[in-house]
Structure 1
Amino acid sequence: MKCAIIILLIYALWKVDCIYAKGVCTSDHHDPKPYLGAKTPYRIRMNPDMSPIVIPDCKAVQLWTIVRHGTRYPSAKVITSMKEGLPLLKNSILRNYEEGKGALCRNEYFNFGNWSTHVEEENEKQLTHEGEDEMQDLAERWLTRLPTLLSENYDNSSYEFRYTATQRTARSARSFAIGLFGRYKAAHVWYPEAIAKDPLIRFYKLCPRWKKYVDKNPASLTEKRAFQHGPEMQGVCRRVGKKLGFDSITYHDVHLMYVTCGFETAWEKKSRSPWCAPFSEDDLKVMEYNEDLEYYWIDGYGFEINYKQACPPLKDLLDRFRSRAAGGDPQKKGVFYFTHSGTLLKLISRLGLYKDEEKLRSNNFSKAYRKWRVSLLDSFGTNLAFILFRCQDDFKIGGYHQERPFIIPGCEEHPCPLNQVLHKYQDTILTCEFNKTCTL
């Protein structure tokens, strides 16, 4: 009798193990973070090198930087989808697994079982604690890199801050100030009244031509929609559905999983979102390209007006550096602007950075290499910085993206002679015909 009981117990344990141990944890073998588009966490893009910036025979005399806000919560629409759609998907995934369908491994199954979302609509697009840390750490690194220029002692005559009329940029600016000056002194930083449609750091909100012909024009998403119906995306849907045990799954559900994977990865440093598990590395690359197509045509090189309208911040930068070099009115030694993805991508394109020879389209995903990858260009906390150096023979300007130096287009060295940069962008300085560009 005892032997029979033991045999039954062994069989039961074997059966349970077969149910819960099936599938290979493929999600353990790749990292989703490099392929999350505009939801990529800045911690994998930041430059950890905090060594002082040293340019032989030069001294840094001014820093100008423009920063995308840190990690935020989703829009209300996405939060609603996460709260209503994902629990239904989760229950179906768990049921499929328990019926022996799909290819999840035991850990992936348990991660789905333990998942829930606590984000509410009132958190819409607000800065997260991770976003605050990103901004504070960014400021601390610049303070360490430029010890002779930046100072922990704040005064209004030396520093200038500006943010748009949103909670996420306001909190980003204040968190950055804490990293620069410390919590006590940062409380005394003065900020001008924020403008909802800021003509300098959110200029596209004041561009009717862009709104009509690009932003609100369904034709701007032609390439993205074509890609969604193409073989690469359909392949992702098949593979994701197969892994989760579905006979078929919609693009809408797959995209919601990808978006949730991105946000939860950005929010949490130590835990992995279960919604990343359905995607292989190749699948993530397809989903990333899907996002790139949208940003390329809405904010990048897809249409000339996208970047042509971005002259206000570039003119502000060059006017300040030119005035400082000419010994004119006293200039701030640190200028810090906090804005949004749309501003950074348009300005990056205006500068001519990361421009591919061919336009991104639905049928050229298979290219071996492309420069335009929003995961690289526009993660949370993305920043462009420019430093004016006074050198023995001239003033020079150094460009930094994600805290790494880059050679300004049209130059052959870093830093580049200021006069050479001013000559390249002289039309921007002299005219910046924003109204002419944007008027219907």
Structure 2
Amino acid sequence: PSCPPSSSEEDIEVNDPLLRFFEHCEKFVALVEENATAMHQVEAFKEGPEMRRVLERVAGALCLPADELNADLVQVAFLTCSYELAIKNVTSPWCSLFSEEDAKVLEYLNDLKQYWKRGYGYDINSRSSCSLFQDIFRQLDKAMEESKSSKPISSPVIVQIGHAETLQPLLALMGFFKDEEPLRANNYARQAQRKFRSGRIVPYAANLVFVLYHCDHAKTSREEYQLQMLLNEQLLPFHHSNQTLALYADLKDYYRDILQNCRFEEECELPRSNNTAADEL
């Protein structure tokens, strides 16, 4: 017989519906993931003047006719450069093909994709993560109630492991890194100072931490429990106050609508109409 699992293995739970919510959300899958028109801003940027200039420069460096290259091929070369630099800390020969301006254009191309597929482009991108958001606050509520009752905290640390596709929608649901003007194919220059930069928001080993504090010397009961968030080990100012420490009660008030009214089944239900996916988007 096989050896029984260790206690640490027994504590591990695979919960794809919670952390890979995007795969279980019919509306997201149909209207974004599998909808050929959902990424029209991305495709338009690939054919736009900024990408044409990149193609011409790269083609010139390779001594190739520009019409033998396309945006997808150039992006593969750029990603190869960036992967080797990030993972191996070496400068790939592919990097020599790109100028700093080329890198900015290709960064914007990737940000466009993340914006429209995982960020603010469509409401369902973020609304599909509300079950995860609510679960986080249920765990925080439980810890607070145990603390109030002077009980040991049953789960002082909860670790949930997902991907960038998990974090990006959750951060959008909470309102972080939202620009006044949506990212589009025709506003590259105006977005030079944009907040939404996926490479900074969800880099390798991206992580989001919620820390609940019990303040013994709080003046009021409302001030007794406070919360901080850290994104990639850096304190994250809250959207509603621009402060890095918030009263837990205030935070729940601010997100009351999501906590009480965002229901995964309803959000992810496909519309029962004759409209096409493009019409819905």
Q: TM-score range by the shorter chain?
A: 0.7 to 0.9
The Cα offsets for residues 358-382 of structure 1, whole Å up to 9 and x where unpaired, read as: 1100000001310111111111111
| Mapped pair 1:281 → 2:100 | yes
Q: CA–CA distance in 2 between the matches of 1:310 and 1:365?
A: 28
The Cα offsets for residues 285-340 of structure 1, whole Å up to 9 and x where unpaired, read as: 00111111111001100001111111122111111212222236743111111111
Aligned to 1:410, the other structure's residue is in SS state: coil
Could you say if the C-alpha distance between residues 277 and 220 of structure 1 is closer, same or farther in structure 2, counting changes exceeding 3 Å? same
Structure 2 spans left out of the alignment, 5+ residues: 1-5, 219-223, 271-281
User: How do 1:334-345 residues align onto structure 2 when only pairs under 5 Å count?
Assistant: 334-345=157-168
Q: CA–CA distance in 2 between the matches of 1:294 and 1:325?
A: 39
- Give the equivalent residue in structure 1 for 2:137: 318
Q: CA–CA distance in 2 between the matches of 1:359 and 1:412?
A: 21
Q: 1:227 aligns with which of 45, 64, 70?
A: 45
TM-superposed deviation, 1:412? 4.5
The Cα offsets for residues 218-245 of structure 1, whole Å up to 9 and x where unpaired, read as: 1111011111111100000111111222
Structure 1 spans left out of the alignment, 5+ residues: 1-186
| Off by >6 Å, runs of 4+ in structure 1 | none
Q: CA–CA distance in 1 between the matches of 2:128 and 2:62?
A: 45
CA contact (8 A) 1:295 1:374 kept: yes
| Mapped pair 1:268 → 2:88 | yes
Could you say if the C-alpha distance between residues 256 and 413 of structure 1 is closer, same or farther in structure 2, counting changes exceeding 3 Å? closer
Aligned to 2:188, the other structure's residue is in SS state: coil
CA contact (8 A) 1:388 1:397 kept: yes
- Give the equivalent residue in structure 2 for 1:246: 64
- Give the equivalent residue in structure 1 for 2:277: none
- Give the equivalent residue in structure 2 for 1:206: 24
Q: Aligned AA for 1:261?
A: C
Aligned to 2:160, the other structure's residue is in SS state: strand
Could you say if the C-alpha distance between residues 390 and 213 of structure 1 is closer, same or farther in structure 2, counting changes exceeding 3 Å? same
CA contact (8 A) 1:407 1:416 kept: no
CA contact (8 A) 1:314 1:347 kept: yes
If asked which structure has higher relative contact order (CA below 8 Å, sep 6+), I would say 1
Q: CA–CA distance in 1 between the matches of 2:82 and 2:118?
A: 20
Q: CA–CA distance in 2 between the matches of 1:314 and 1:192?
A: 20
- Give the equivalent residue in structure 2 for 1:422: 252
User: How do 1:3-402 residues align onto structure 2 when only pairs under 5 Å count?
Assistant: 189-190=8-9, 191-195=11-15, 198-248=16-66, 249-251=68-70, 252-269=72-89, 271-327=90-146, 330-367=153-190, 368-391=192-215, 392-393=217-218, 394-402=224-232
Aligned to 1:388, the other structure's residue is in SS state: strand
Which range moves more in the overlay, 427-436 or 282-291? 427-436
The Cα offsets for residues 108-139 of structure 1, whole Å up to 9 and x where unpaired, read as: xxxxxxxxxxxxxxxxxxxxxxxxxxxxxxxx
CA contact (8 A) 1:310 1:347 kept: yes
CA contact (8 A) 2:20 2:162 kept: yes
Q: Aligned AA for 1:375?
A: G
TM-superposed deviation, 1:193? 4.4
The Cα offsets for residues 55-98 of structure 1, whole Å up to 9 and x where unpaired, read as: xxxxxxxxxxxxxxxxxxxxxxxxxxxxxxxxxxxxxxxxxxxx
Q: Percent identity?
A: 30
Q: Aligned AA for 1:272?
A: T
Aligned to 2:76, the other structure's residue is in SS state: helix
TM-superposed deviation, 1:213? 0.7
Aligned to 2:124, the other structure's residue is in SS state: helix
Q: Aligned AA for 2:26?
A: P
CA contact (8 A) 1:356 1:370 kept: yes
Could you say if the C-alpha distance between residues 238 and 412 of structure 1 is closer, same or farther in structure 2, counting changes exceeding 3 Å? closer
- Give the equivalent residue in structure 1 for 2:266: 436
TM-superposed deviation, 1:431? 4.2
Whose Rg is larger? 1
Q: Aligned AA for 1:351?
A: M
Q: CA–CA distance in 1 between the matches of 2:61 and 2:75?
A: 15
Aligned length, in residue pairs: 251
TM-score (norm 1): 0.55
* Superposition CA RMSD, Å: 1.7
- Give the equivalent residue in structure 1 for 2:234: 404
TM-score (norm 2): 0.84
Q: CA–CA distance in 2 between the matches of 1:331 and 1:398?
A: 20
Q: CA–CA distance in 1 between the matches of 2:178 and 2:48?
A: 24
Q: Aligned AA for 1:332?
A: S
Q: CA–CA distance in 2 between the matches of 1:232 and 1:318?
A: 43
Q: Aligned AA for 1:388?
A: L
CA contact (8 A) 1:320 1:331 kept: no
